[in-house]
Amino acid sequence: MFELPARWPSAFAALPYTALYRQQPADFVVEEELGFEPEGQGEQVFVWVEKNNLSTAYVAEQLARLAQIHPKQVSYSGIKDRTAITRQWFSLHLAGQPTPEAAALSGSGWQVLACQRHPRKLKRGTHRQNRFVLRLTLAPLSNEVEQQQRAIWLAERWQQLCAQGVPNYFGPQRFGVAGRNLHLAQQLMEGRPLKRQQKSFALSALRSALFNDFLAQELRAGRWNQAYSGDIFCLRASRSFFTSQLDEDAAALQARLDQGDLDRAGPLVGAGRYPVQGQMAEQYDQWQARYPAECAFLAAQGLRTEPRPLRVGLIDPHWSLTDDQLQLSFALPAGSFATAVLAELLHAEDAQLRPSADLHQE
């Protein structure tokens, strides 16, 4: 069974500084951005919710209870961090019913900020991006000179990440404390029954771990941000994917990649062929051969093989440093993790993933 490494390989030079984050929910703020406005009419009611230290699934259950509908009639686009202050949209199927007042759907730990009608329910991955505001506490230094050196180093590294992007790893919260969700995947592969939510976490964790492993391989080989003919690329603007032709000019592809127009893609394993060609197909087959049981199991679960960018760029990034307090603000496309940014900036420890913490989900 796949085992998580202590740390995934980094894209940039070694990190000399450490920090602690998510010591309290207010240190990790996430706001979902749909990329469109609800139309104001339709069978669905979109509710804009701010939650504090609660899971997305729990709030969805409570919204169903308060609206007096079946939990399956409540949908959302993305699972947001539990130990955080997050704002996201839910959709409630309320055909033929009046639009409820926001206060009637609010509860302890969450508040409905707005209700708007829309013809279609939210589906997973519908939103365009998430905006993050992160507050970190840096490890104390002994004198002012060291603090100034750290400030200079962090400023330079931050600019490097903003210019070049970061490896698009799935974050540690996908795997649970001490990799518990991967242990659930092992149980599932052994034929042990799991509850529906546990099964979902397990399959997602296994698929994510394999993607991270592929990305780690490409980082070690220096290929993660290099363009090759016959490979799969993601267009950043539209987030659509294409396979380059074997006779396509790799230098032209590389120029577009360097400009941030394109990113290489890697596999989210499932059924079906990953459509790379030529040399890239050989490299992919060699990687997949290391995990025959895991790949076959995921294919049997009805998941389809699909691409995911190996690199993600920071959108509208900002930072500030005051003494030992660092604040970062940026947006990432839906499905990318703020922890992937932190991993390239600092040795950042998540207070919620310490062994004493409860199981924490994205």
Q: DSSP of 303-356, one letter per residue?
A: PBPEEEESEE--EEEEEEEETTEEEEEEEEETT--HHHHHHHH-EEEEGGGSTT
Count of C-beta atoms within a 10 Å radius of residue 26 = 13
Note the pLDDT of residue 59. 98
Say whether pLDDT at 212 is over 80.
yes
Range 272-292 average pLDDT: 95
How far CA 78 is from CA of 32, 113, 137, 283, in Å, comes to 8, 18, 28, 32
Amino acid at 300: A
Per-residue pLDDT tens for 114-173? 999 999 999 999 999 999 999 999 999 989 999 999 999 999 999 999 999 999 999 988
Rounded-to-integer distance, Cα 62 and Cα 110, Å = 10
Packed helices 196-220 and 180-189: angle between N→C axes, nearest 10 degrees: 110
Predicted confidence (pLDDT) at residue 110 exceeds the cutoff of 70? yes
Q: Is 344 exposed, middle or buried (0-12, 13-18, 19+ CB in 10 A)?
A: buried
Q: How confident is the model at residue 356 (pLDDT cuts 50, 70, 90)?
A: very low
Q: Region 271-287: what's the mean pLDDT?
A: 95
* Lateral strand order in the sheet of 306-309: 240-243, 232-235, 262-268, 306-309
- Average pLDDT rounded to a whole number, residues 295-305: 95
In the prediction, which pLDDT does 186 show? 94
pLDDT surpasses 70 at 264: yes
Report strand pairing: 85-93 vs 74-76: antiparallel
Give the C-alpha separation, 52 to 337, whole Å: 19
Q: Which residues pair with 328 in a beta bridge?
A: 134, 319
Residue 5 has pLDDT above 60, yes or no: yes
The pLDDT mean for the chain works out to 94
Decide if pLDDT at 360 tops 60. no
Q: Quote the CA–CA distance of 39 and 119 in Å, as a whole number.
A: 7
Q: Give the Cα separation of 280 and 97 in Å (integer).
A: 54
Q: Enter the pTM of the model.
A: 0.93
How many Å is the maximal CA-CA distance in the chain?
A: 67
Least confident span in 88-92, 94-98, 196-200: 196-200
Collapse the DSSP code of 175 into the 3-class scheme (helix H, G, I; strand E, B; otherwise coil) and give the result. coil
Confidence of residue 355 (pLDDT cuts 50, 70, 90): low
What is the rounded distance in angstroms from the CA atom of residue 140 to the CA atom of residue 146? 10
Encoded tokens for 336:
């990318």
Cβ–Cβ < 8 Å for 218, 243: no
Number of Cβ within 10 Å of residue 42's Cβ equals 17
Contact status, residue 305 vs residue 267, Cβ threshold 8 Å: yes
Domain range list for the chain: 36-118
Q: Which two tokens stand for residue 141?
A: 């230094």
- Domain 36-118 in CATH 3.30.2350.20? The answer is yes
Q: How confident is the model at residue 1 (pLDDT cuts 50, 70, 90)?
A: low
CA-CA distance, 353 to 173, in Å (whole number)? Answer: 8
Based on the number of CB atoms within 10 Å of its own CB, is 142 exposed (0-12), middle (13-18) or buried (19 or more)? exposed
Report pLDDT for 3. Answer: 82
Positions marked active-site: 81
